[in-house]
Structure 1
Amino acid sequence: MNRPKRMLVENIAWARETADSDHAFFPRLAEGQSPRVLWIGCSDSRVPAETVTNANPGDLFVHRNIANLFSPADDNVMSVLEYAVRVLKVDDIIVCGHYGCGGVRASLLPASPDLPHVNRRIAPLCALAQRHRGELERVADADERVNRLAELSVLEQVRALRETPLVRDANAPPRVHGWIFGLHDGRIKVLATGYPDDQPVLFEPEPALETAGR
């Protein structure tokens, strides 16, 4: 069975299982969307927003592109942002990058003549790498250098979003957060939170409740 056919078969199974467990799920979904979060993430197949946050359909308004970049000159991301802020009135915007990002790695290498569209897309990343050249050159390990630039990029997208009039001048400006996902352990690290203290936090799971009688 080819891959698209397998996906269709899996869809049938998922739809049946979901409807069996919650008869109102699809009628509720068809009524409309009211997500409270806009997620701007990377197109990388290993970082699906709903999966890594254990979210359901309808929970997140999602925009993904190579290297989770935001640019006011990009009508695609700006239309998503405009709809999220002015129509959906989301409370939070999350920029989520990930370690081991191929787009970030490419920005540290010579441009490939076979990937002109990718080259244009990651041009801001190349410029960011130049601005932080001194710091990055002090990181001896190539993979760690990529990961540090991935962090710096998330923070840069957060800064740009916070300064965008659509966000800054909204009646109730959404909080803008910067997260990064670890492919090695599946954990999300908070680089910037939209709350006033703005302190990086790595959230730890709640301790397991002791069973009765212990």
Structure 2
Amino acid sequence: MTHSRPAIRELLLDHGLAPRRDLGQNFVTDPNTVRRIAELARVGPGDHVVEIGAGLGSLTLALAETGADVTAVEIDRGVVPVLRQIVTDAGPAAANVTVVEANAMEVDWNELIDPGVVGGWTLVANLPYNVGTPLVCDVLDGVPHVTRILVMVQREVAERFAASPGDSQYGAISVKAAYWGRARIVGHVPATVFFPSPNVESALVEITRRTPPAADP
């Protein structure tokens, strides 16, 4: 069970909410898109996923369908109780979901997700464009128990993460991504699947952590 565009509009209206510009909120309204992301995450029973910016739970519910244990993080205190109710209403289908109200840019990651989990964690997110780059860089630098990252970000940001030497998009974040792992673009997402629709294109970038990193610091 995931949310359609009419369902997103109804949820917002029923709870007196609206997408917040200051948080860069663009809710995914296409069930096929979130199921595709969950499939690309390559997770299932026994795996552990941390989702940043869970919003109204469209991607959360798709991840729950995989059978993985999902920690869904949301900063918007107005949205959090709605998300918790959505998870509760989903019943056994979302019994593997834990909702956490937190700012992912400030949270203590060792408290948020257990660093001792065998096999590590997969981070999956539809990230606001204004925090996509710093959040991914912070996780690469400081959260080694996140071993895979699959995030939806602005297309240009995804291209910079995945760029190779000689590419026009190659720069500092390309070097950082290559130092810690292997980055590649695994899909593109049209603006039409979001509410509200952004004025930029989005892409899915996957970063698989390398152990040890590519070079000695």
Q: Same fold (TM over 0.5)?
A: no
Q: Compare the two structures and name the one with the higher helix fraction.
A: 1
TM range (shorter): under 0.3
What is the TM-score with the length of structure 1 in the denominator? Answer: 0.25
Q: Highest Rg: 1 or 2? A: 1
